[in-house]
Structure 1
Amino acid sequence: MGTPFLLERYRRDRRNLLEFLFSEGLIRAPSRTSIDLAGLDLDSISADYVLDCLESGEEFDPSEATRRYFDGLKYPIMLNSSSTNSYYFVSEPEISGSPPRRAAPRLSSGMKITTNGTSSQVAKHDNLIGRDVGISGESRTKGVATADEPSRLLEDKDILSLGLPGLSTGISDDEIRETAYEVLLACLFCGGKVHFPEEMKKEKKTNFLKGLRSKREGLSSFPVPEDSHSDFLDIIRVQMEISEATNAFIRKGSRLSNLREMNEQIDVPCISLNLISVLYKLDFPSERLRMQWQRRQANILEELLGSVNMDSKMRETLQILLRKLRSIEEKVSDVYDGFFEILSLIKRYASKLSSMPGKYGFQSKAYYRTASYQFNIKLYEKLLYSVFDILEDGKILEEADEMLEVYEFTWSTLGITQKLHNVLYAWVLFQQFIKTGEFLLLKLAVLEMQKVLSHKNDEGTEEAYISSLICSVESYGSKRFLCLVDAIFFKIYLWCCYQLEDYHLHFAQEKSAIFGSVVNLAVLTQTTSADECAENKYFGSMAGNIPEWKLFHFFIVKSIQAAFKRACSLAENQSSVELKHPLAIVAHELKQVAEKEYTAFYPVLCQKYPKSGKLAFILLHLLYGERLKPFLEGLTHLSESVKEVLAASNTLELCLAHKLSSIYGDNVDSSATKYVHPYQISHYCAPLVLQWIHAQHDNILEWTKRAVEIEDWEPLSSQQRQAKSAVEVFRIVEETVDQFFSSNLPMDIIHLRSLLIGIVRSLEAYLLHIVNQQVDVTMLYPSTPALTRYAESIYPFMKKKFVQLTTLEEKMTFQLNTLTGPKLCVKLNTLHYIRDQLDTLEDTIKHSWNLVQSGFGLADYFSRISNGKSSVDVNVNLSACNGSVDELFALFDNVRRGAVTTSKMMLDFIGPRVIFWDMRDSFLFSLYRSSVNSARLEIFIPLLDQVLDRICDLIIDELRDQVVLKIFQASMDGFIWVLLDGGPSRAFSEADVPLMQEDLAMLKELFIANGQGLPFDVVEKEARLARQILDLFALKADTIIEMLVSASEQTAYHLKPTTGGRSCANDAQTLLRVLCHKKDGSASEFLKMHYQLPKSSDYDDIPSKEERTSTSPILSDIFRGAASGRRHPCDVGAAGRRRPTHPPPVPTFLSNSHCR
């Protein structure tokens, strides 16, 4: 906002503030009387003095207030703050040179020093005035600080000045405003031709008018006009900031003048002279106001009458008359004749000038239209400004249309035509828009400009008259003389150029509507000399010879260049603060410029210049490429700063390619392709990215090995039951994947394959570590005692033979002890977690890769348009690439298969680990030992229940049934082992069978768990063999012997045996073991006669705690079958001592003497 507008606003606010203080009775008047505001010149009163009176309660002295005001003007303006005082110099400090070297003068003894070090005399300055001048001083200081660039204030001040001829008498804006109001009232009262619109009613007032008048109605001593239009005129008065006192004597003068009786056209000098002749001293509220008004009238007459080309003698005579008019203080008897004589001479001179022949086809009495047009234009501008709400500059009054109709009565007096009105109103709207930024004002200004362009001239008369209204404007260092209409067009056009030459700076994202109106305004006001502001252009051939295209071509180039310079300057300042490479910051800023161009500016510019987007984005690409090229040529390694620059550059190029492709596709004309130079980021960074991926391989593998080696296989939490090492490994993998895809670097399928290989290597190393910790499941099974026949001991104290058991190595024992059930559960959970995370990781990588490939066609967009190729080949290459990517992810299948195999191995291990290792003493070596009644299964059930509860708490729901099933299978294997391979201490009679069947049912119920455990049919299927073996023990010995003989004959004649693992209980080996553990004499005799088996009473098979499983190949074979085909150890035959001399036929599996 320009300085004149600020000063005018602050002066008005100062008056309102002082008027409020006086009207509220806060200031004491002399002799306790009310203060007459009509007699005070508020512009010449010290605000500091008023505030002092308010604080101290002293009486207000108008003379002292005036003296203090003028004394304060002698000192520099100062702003007081808590830290120091700031002074504003009238002159520029740089121009003044160095400070004086002489010592400062001492302060006088009578001068009081304030606490902050300044003299009290200087401190008594006018605060309100100080604020006014301080703002202009601040702007001046800023202008000095940025001397290398013209300040915005100076540019606005120059643009908002029409260059009208100056006023020789220096009449102020306030005086012009009051004169405009006088002319308006005179025209309205002249001839009685005033006709207001019918819809105007007395009660229609604006809210601001009610607010302003509420404080004044009690103090005003002037009668309310009886005119029916007084309210409407009151609105105009308030809008033009005319006090009621001034309004009263102006209206009185208009009514007392003889203007109504004049049949000729009135002019401004005539109005001024008539007012002077009819107003007396008593008509004014104060002598000071009368003197000011009379001096103003004399200045107006001098301005209008002195503008004529006259000889020196006539000019001197006029000056003498006007000087005398100013000096006459009142119309008293001794000077009355002299006053009217002077006034008569001036009237005669003015009448002579106004009767001169009119120009440009106008009738007589129109001399002052052209002779003093600058003054008339300023008067009409003041009238037009009154349509804006004084309380809110950006708003137009509801009565604006009616006010403009009233102002038409001044057209003949001020020389205004319809075209001049439209262009001046557009100018006023435009200036008010610049001050307030209100979008509606700009739209109205555009509409008024369109009216001006559509106006038809009246046979050249009006055009000739308008052409005579000359303005002097400066542009680009040269002065030009234009008519008023052209000057307004040119000034508006210059402002539009100033804004549009850097529209990225002047228009925010949300101001796209304002930008569109400014573009339209630039098109409307474009002059034939628009090319004068065009400097060096990029891609000049793109615009062709269309003036409008060339204009916006110039705007786009200038704005993009300015945005690029700002980005470079910002990067230089921020690179050291943010520790980023300047090129990365520049690329980021230019990407934002491109986004703003695409969303906010291109939709508007493309309507005026279809190639605007092409020009903007290619120019951004070119300007940054010139900075980037030296950097790319010096690359040697992929550091963080290099990575930032490459990523930012690639992102910028893809962004620009996307914008261009979405608008133009591949249809970029040849005039621009010669300026397209692809960055070729992939060419420079491909080997560097591959090098970085290989380095990540080693990092991931090292972290994986470190994490799994220190793993204690405890669950991460009650909700996350996998090992923390797996979480850590996938965290490292995901971070690497995120870094890979978030790098925003161009990548191909080779980079992706290398990344996947590194991930697979790390996960395979993790699985291998788990496998290496495992122990062969056969190491869990106990040694099989020797086969014996039942026989009671005759000599209890006879020394018995001990079964020879093989002990495990210490290392193997340590491994078995570390593979506890809870740790195995955590490992199973971890393997399942690996498979789930691998699926998620694959989906993530595929999604990220698809996003990368979505820009595959854009990666070489600039290369294609520079070579003139299409995007058809790109789609073919993209399809082939997608097929190769699907094959790459087959690498993850190896990890999945490894995880499944390892899980199966551990599932096969956990059941025997719980039954045959953890519970071997309480179950295998205790159940049914010596007698069934003394060692029932009910003792073992609570322990197994606790183990199952612990495992179910640790294992995840997806694996719970599988783990429990494996434990149940191992329980059945252990139960069968007790029945068939329990050793010499276990022998079962037919009476024991019901008890053992009850125990089997109890064990099944434990795993069924009232329907919440394993399914009933699964449990029955797994327990079938144990039930069949118990049924054999219920048979008579002779029946079992016959079955054994039959089974042995089938084996001897090579009959096909029954297959199916443990599905058959009638094979020879099972029947033989049933006879060995049957408490029956005939069975014992049969075994003694045919197999020469020793008596059970001769052996002691109670193992020590240090004894472990046998490592015989036969036993390993047995339990390897139980692990894979779920064959029981007794499914493979053991050997007897020697073949009996009398049949039954000996089974072929009885080939060794001490097994089973």
Structure 2
Amino acid sequence: MVSYAYRDAAAQTVSTKKVERPISPSDELTYPFGELGVDLTQSELRETAYEILVGACRSFNSGKTLKYVSSSVKSSSSSSSKAASKVKKALGLKKNLESVSGKKASTVGELMRVQMGISEQTDSRVRRAFLRVAAGQLGRRLESMVLPLEFLQQFKISDFPNPQEYEVWQRRNLKLLEAGLVLHPCLPLDETDTRPKQLQQIIRGALVKPMETTKHSESMLELRNLSTSLACRSFDGSSPEICHWADGTPLNLRLYQILLEACFDVNDKISVIEEVDEVLEIIKKTWVILGIDQMFHNICFSWVLFHRYVACSQVQNELLFAADNLLSDVAKDSKAVKHLTCSQTLSSLLGLIVGWAEKRLLVYHDSFYRDNIDSMQSLLSMSLSATEILVEHSSGNYQKRSKEVDVAFSRVDSYIRASMLRTFSQEKERLISSRKSSKQQHNPLPILSILAQNVSDLAFNEKEIYSAVLKRWHPLATGVAVATLHACYGNELKKFVSGISELTPDAVQVLIAADKLEKDLVQMAVMDAADSEDGGKSLMTEMTPYEAEAVIANLVKSWISTRVDRLKEWVTRNLQQEVCLLLCCWIVLMSGVMDHHH
């Protein structure tokens, strides 16, 4: 251990501004809703989501292709530019000052195609498929069909540019059947039911060798019978009006997430498009097919906004603010959530958000500074909202528990203590490192004297920058911070005092610096707790006095006692020497007298 008796090269001021860091791969978020268990690429899932969207928005009765035109799209550009998006207003998102999307789409359907990155060739094929399906299924709605099954029967190799593209397309639809009917069914499968295994065997075989999908093909008939019987199950055994092939979690949430991501501008990843109201209006038409309700929508949209905030270097605070607003709606409805899957999905998302946020909040001095303090406030708000909802879900009686434990207060208290402890340790290590690199220089101050001044700077910096944000959830934010710093420095001072036995210039400098620091910290704590119920008594009990003046007094007494003892010893020794000298002189004198008489 480096002795504090050495002196540092120079007192260095505490840095209050940190360099913003880009996201590293380890910071990437994991998907909160579970894995699909099938090899489907993002582009394949996106094409599937687009097919469901087109199908949900067209009318089979009319036989017309999707040309959904929102009233706002029909309106003139001047009037639409003036109208504020209701969704943006509700979520706290600002209106885009400049449009970066380029040429405006004539319909919302065309806008969605562009936003989702679907080629005109693929769009044409999807629409052609629905025309064929509609021709053979007059009067039937999309939710009463197993869409991949219908598509498999409508298309042939000749409908694709080459056989390889057709085979990829066929495998995608077969994998969707496996994911939606076998791996993630909406209704639980009976363990004694052999149909899922039979269907899986057919699908696995077709993945190796493309299957014949003509109407009278034996393999196609078997695939249709098995798929339809599994999709048309119900809890009570009755014949349902809805086929359950895409409404099992996580398949439905993965597809719905892709649809929601179309709300972001393709050329500006952090901007929500101005047509978000119209886009969400048609996206919600897929709810019946995907098994989505308002609660699932809020959960999934919260994730999309939060993930986009993280993926885009955490610079767009309004995305975090919007996600937090959605979580507020989730909190209102979470008490009524009885659906197990929805509850588990909610807990998974909230746990991921809290875990990611707390990695930063427990070391908030490393993550935030004066220029991005708004980000800290937004992240705090969202993390604490998520934590409170999680507590509500885990507690049988949230109302009672919330009175016993203030969740937000408790978490913020732990953030302050943890981050202050880390910041103090970093400052101490920085000074020690500076000491080692400047051994040959003349250092006028002991290291603990410099540390005392820097700790004081840390405390004032905390009050000015961070406590203003933290006080929203913790009224004694400054007091807790300075109490933590007081304890940290006190531990170092205790080690120093235990290693000194006499009063030295270094010891005096350290103890005077410690006394000044303590007075500053205590004053800040008292001022912060002036309006609290106990007047700050609880904080004061944490701040064990340094008693620097008493230590100095004791060292002075010890020094005086030591000097008095030395003086006594010197006087005694000198007296003894004087007596011996006198005795010797007397003996010599007496010897001379005796000789004279003789």
Q: TM-score, normalised by structure 1?
A: 0.38
- Is this contact kept in 2: 1:613–1:660, CA < 8 A? yes
- 1:685-764, aligned counterparts within 5 Å? none
Displacement of 1:559: 2.1
- Give the whole-Å Cα distance in 2 for the aligned partners of 1:303 and 1:374: 9
**Is 1:506 the counterpart of 2:367 in the alignment?**
yes
- Is this contact kept in 1: 2:51–2:126, CA < 8 A? yes
Name 1:467's counterpart in structure 2.
340
SS in 1 for 2:331: helix
Name 1:210's counterpart in structure 2.
102
Q: Partner amino acid for 2:491?
A: E
Name 1:603's counterpart in structure 2.
468
Name 2:14's counterpart in structure 1.
none
Q: Partner amino acid for 1:448?
A: L
Displacement of 1:324: 5.3
Classify 1:656/1:382 alpha carbon distance in 2 versus 1 (closer, same or farther; 3 Å).
same
Classify 1:547/1:316 alpha carbon distance in 2 versus 1 (closer, same or farther; 3 Å).
closer
Q: Partner amino acid for 1:609?
A: H
More relative contact order, 1 or 2 (CA 8 Å, 6+ apart) = 2
Name 2:325's counterpart in structure 1.
447
**Is 1:573 the counterpart of 2:433 in the alignment?**
yes
Q: Partner amino acid for 2:57?
A: L
Q: Partner amino acid for 1:161?
A: Y
Name 2:43's counterpart in structure 1.
174
**Is 1:420 the counterpart of 2:281 in the alignment?**
no
- Is this contact kept in 2: 1:358–1:365, CA < 8 A? no
Displacement of 1:520: 2.0
Aligned pair partner of 1:679 in 541, 546, 554 = 546
Give the alignment's Cα RMSD to 1 decimal.
4.0
- Give the whole-Å Cα distance in 1 for the aligned partners of 2:111 and 2:535: 60
Classify 1:318/1:687 alpha carbon distance in 2 versus 1 (closer, same or farther; 3 Å).
closer
Aligned pair partner of 2:195 in 314, 321, 343 = 314
- Is this contact kept in 1: 2:331–2:389, CA < 8 A? no
SS in 1 for 2:471: helix
Unmatched 5+ stretches in structure 1? 1-150, 214-228, 470-481, 534-542, 690-1156
**Is 1:200 the counterpart of 2:200 in the alignment?**
no
Q: TM-score, normalised by structure 2?
A: 0.70
Q: Partner amino acid for 1:318?
A: L
Name 1:162's counterpart in structure 2.
32
- Give the whole-Å Cα distance in 2 for the aligned partners of 1:354 and 1:467: 20
Q: Partner amino acid for 1:295?
A: R
- Is this contact kept in 2: 1:258–1:274, CA < 8 A? no
- Give the whole-Å Cα distance in 1 for the aligned partners of 2:416 and 2:236: 46
Q: Percent identity?
A: 22
**Is 1:522 the counterpart of 2:391 in the alignment?**
no
Name 1:663's counterpart in structure 2.
528
Displacement of 1:548: 3.5
Q: Partner amino acid for 2:195?
A: M
**Is 1:430 the counterpart of 2:311 in the alignment?**
no
Per-residue CA shift, 1:417-447, capped at 9, x if unaligned?
A: 0111112111111111122211010110111
Name 1:146's counterpart in structure 2.
none
- Is this contact kept in 1: 2:115–2:262, CA < 8 A? yes
Displacement of 1:375: 0.5
- Give the whole-Å Cα distance in 2 for the aligned partners of 1:287 and 1:156: 38
- Is this contact kept in 2: 1:209–1:235, CA < 8 A? no
Q: Partner amino acid for 1:314?
A: R
- Is this contact kept in 2: 1:190–1:260, CA < 8 A? no
- 1:849-868, aligned counterparts within 5 Å? none
- Give the whole-Å Cα distance in 2 for the aligned partners of 1:208 and 1:328: 46
- Is this contact kept in 1: 2:33–2:249, CA < 8 A? no
- Is this contact kept in 1: 2:57–2:68, CA < 8 A? no
- Give the whole-Å Cα distance in 2 for the aligned partners of 1:646 and 1:152: 44
- Give the whole-Å Cα distance in 2 for the aligned partners of 1:557 and 1:382: 40
SS in 2 for 1:614: helix
Aligned length: 487
Classify 1:550/1:382 alpha carbon distance in 2 versus 1 (closer, same or farther; 3 Å).
same
- 1:599-638, aligned counterparts within 5 Å? 599-632=464-497, 634=500, 636-638=503-505
- Give the whole-Å Cα distance in 2 for the aligned partners of 1:197 and 1:361: 38
Per-residue CA shift, 1:767-793, capped at 9, x if unaligned?
A: xxxxxxxxxxxxxxxxxxxxxxxxxxx
Per-residue CA shift, 1:1022-1081, capped at 9, x if unaligned?
A: xxxxxxxxxxxxxxxxxxxxxxxxxxxxxxxxxxxxxxxxxxxxxxxxxxxxxxxxxxxx
- Give the whole-Å Cα distance in 2 for the aligned partners of 1:673 and 1:688: 26
Displacement of 1:185: 1.3
Classify 1:601/1:361 alpha carbon distance in 2 versus 1 (closer, same or farther; 3 Å).
farther
Aligned pair partner of 2:175 in 294, 299, 308 = 299
Q: Partner amino acid for 2:46?
A: R
Displacement of 1:200: 0.9
- Give the whole-Å Cα distance in 1 for the aligned partners of 2:408 and 2:238: 37
Unmatched 5+ stretches in structure 2? 1-22, 82-97, 184-188, 395-402, 557-598
Per-residue CA shift, 1:37-91, capped at 9, x if unaligned?
A: xxxxxxxxxxxxxxxxxxxxxxxxxxxxxxxxxxxxxxxxxxxxxxxxxxxxxxx
Name 2:110's counterpart in structure 1.
234
- Give the whole-Å Cα distance in 1 for the aligned partners of 2:530 and 2:238: 61
Name 1:392's counterpart in structure 2.
268
Per-residue CA shift, 1:364-415, capped at 9, x if unaligned?
A: 4254466x22101110011112212233322211122221111001000000
Name 2:229's counterpart in structure 1.
352
Q: Partner amino acid for 2:199?
A: L
Classify 1:201/1:430 alpha carbon distance in 2 versus 1 (closer, same or farther; 3 Å).
same
Per-residue CA shift, 1:837-875, capped at 9, x if unaligned?
A: xxxxxxxxxxxxxxxxxxxxxxxxxxxxxxxxxxxxxxx
Displacement of 1:452: 1.6
Classify 1:178/1:591 alpha carbon distance in 2 versus 1 (closer, same or farther; 3 Å).
farther
Name 1:365's counterpart in structure 2.
242
SS in 1 for 2:71: coil
Q: Partner amino acid for 1:497?
A: E
Q: Partner amino acid for 1:317?
A: Q
Displacement of 1:484: 1.2
Displacement of 1:625: 1.1
Q: Partner amino acid for 1:506?
A: S
- Is this contact kept in 2: 1:280–1:330, CA < 8 A? no
Name 1:554's counterpart in structure 2.
414
Q: Partner amino acid for 2:320?
A: L
